[in-house]
Each structure stands twice: as structure tokens, then as C-alpha cells.
Chain A
Amino acid sequence: SQKIEQNSEALNIQEGKTATLTCNYTNYSPAYLQWYRQDPGRGPVFLLLIRENEKEKRKERLKVTFDTTLKQSLFHITASQPADSATYLCARPDGSGNTGKLIFGQGTTLQVKP
């Protein structure tokens, strides 16, 4: 079965630095990966989608990469701010991806210190 693995340990960084979060997947490469942000007590919020044929995707201070050789996606936040502190979830589609069924990782909690 497909799995998504994220570092369950919290990531602590200093404000202004670049945060890099890792998402590893098993089995075959998915057609796409999605990244979400979740704040305590709230539902996940969609951030970015990257397709298998895309090496990199950017949105403002966010950048996502997709390496099918390493079976890995990296999520970068440049010039991090305390407001970026949250849990970040990586998700892959199950199977062909036609049903909308997503398999989520456990999430990595990012703490940005001022």
C-alpha cells in the first residue's frame, strides 16, 4: 500500500531562515503531491500541488520540489516568519488519483522563533 512519511519531529528554526520539510513516499510515483498547512484546532488549508512531470513549483515564499528518483518532495519556506509556525501535511493520491482519495502523512510541525 502507498505510504507517505514525514518527519514527525518538530522543526525549529530562526526567523528569516529557510525551512525545509521532507516528504517521502513509497511504491510508484504518484501523479501529483499536495501540501497543506494545519494550524492547531483548525482544518488543513491547501497550499500547493506539484505534478509528477514538474520538478519545482513556487508560490510567493513557498517552493515545492518533486524528485521521482528519490521518491521525495521537499517543501521550502524562505525568509520564514513566526506566522509560518504550523503543521505541514504532505498528501498523495491513492491509486490512479481519479477518485480524489488522498493519503496524508503525519505532518511536520514547524516552529519559527523570532
Chain B
Amino acid sequence: DTAVSQTPKYLVTQMGNDKSIKCEQNLGHDTMYWYKQDSKKFLKIMFSYNNKELIINETVPNRFSPKSPDKAHLNLHINSLELGDSAVYFCASSQGQGSYEQYFGPGTRLTVT
């Protein structure tokens, strides 16, 4: 009974390529997030959607584009990958915005060579 799932778990690709990471939650939550965890383990929010509406859009390069086809899915597309994009990307969801606890996916380790 996976709550928040992400695919793929590992992604190795070359600089300049375009790649996507998919996320799905079966918790019936309204809000979904994308986080980036760098090599120093800092977890930083990138985007959030509430009922398919973009709520949080942090200062990330516009090479990163989230898409939410429905409230159970939030995908992340990255264009023209760079070495600095190498990190672990986590998807998360919560019942709503505000003080709700967040449920995280298992992460996608992206390595750009």
C-alpha cells in the first residue's frame, strides 16, 4: 500500500538531456510538493500544488517545470540538465495547505554526468 510513490528511483543521465520524474499519491491529499535534497542533506522546497493549482514556486531555474494532471499526480520535468542538478528529489503530499504533516516519497536520485 504505497502512499507516495515516485519513478524512477535512480536516474543517471548526461548533461544537456531532458528528463522527467513522476509522482503519485493514493492518500486523497489535496496538496503535493517537490523537494530537492543536496549532497549536504539540506531539504529545500521547489514547488507545491494544491488541487492542481501552483501555490509555491521557489527560485529555481525555469528548466524545471512541474505539471499536475490531477490532484493525485505531480510530475517534474527538467530540461537541459546540468551537473548541479545532481541531487535526490522527493515528492511529498499533505491533506491540505497549512500545518498538516507531509508524507514523502522514497526519492529519486538524479546523477548528471
User: Could you list which residues of chain A lie within 8 angstroms of chain B, going by C-beta atoms?
Assistant: 31-32, 34, 41-46, 49, 51, 87, 89, 93, 97-102, 104, 106-107
Q: Which residue of A is nearest B107, CB measured?
A: A43
Q: Which residue of A is nearest B6, CB measured?
A: A43
Q: Is the CB of B107 within 8 A of A42?
A: yes
- Which of the residues A44, A87, A100 comes within 8 Å of B94, measured between beta carbons? A100
User: Could you list which residues of chain B lie within 8 angstroms of chain A, going by C-beta atoms?
Assistant: 4, 31, 33, 40-45, 48, 50, 55-56, 90, 92, 94, 96-107
Q: Is the CB of B40 within 8 A of A106?
A: yes
Q: Which residues of A contact B40 (CB under 8 A)?
A: 106
Q: Is the CB of B102 within 8 A of A100?
A: yes
Q: Is the CB of B101 within 8 A of A34?
A: yes
Interchain pairs with CB closer than 8 A, number: 61
Q: Is the CB of B97 within 8 A of A98?
A: yes
Q: Closest approach, in angstroms, between the C-beta of A30 and any C-beta of chain B?
A: 10
Q: Which residues of B contact A107 (CB under 8 A)?
A: 41
Q: Which residues of A contact B50 (CB under 8 A)?
A: 100
Q: Closest approach, in angstroms, between the C-beta of A99 and any C-beta of chain B?
A: 5
Q: Is the CB of B48 within 8 A of A104?
A: no
Listed A/B pairs (24) with beta-carbon separation below 8 Å: A31-B99, A32-B99, A42-B106, A43-B90, A43-B104, A43-B105, A44-B104, A46-B103, A49-B99, A51-B99, A89-B43, A93-B99, A97-B99, A98-B97, A99-B98, A100-B33, A100-B50, A100-B55, A100-B96, A100-B97, A102-B45, A102-B102, A106-B40, A106-B42
Q: Is the CB of B42 within 8 A of A104?
A: yes
Other than A43-B90, A100-B55, A100-B102, give 10 A-B pairs with Cβ distance below 8 A. Answer: A32-B99, A41-B107, A43-B107, A44-B43, A46-B103, A49-B101, A97-B99, A100-B31, A100-B50, A104-B42
Q: Which residues of A contact B31 (CB under 8 A)?
A: 100
Q: Which residues of B contact A106 (CB under 8 A)?
A: 40-42
Q: Which residues of A contact B90 (CB under 8 A)?
A: 43-44
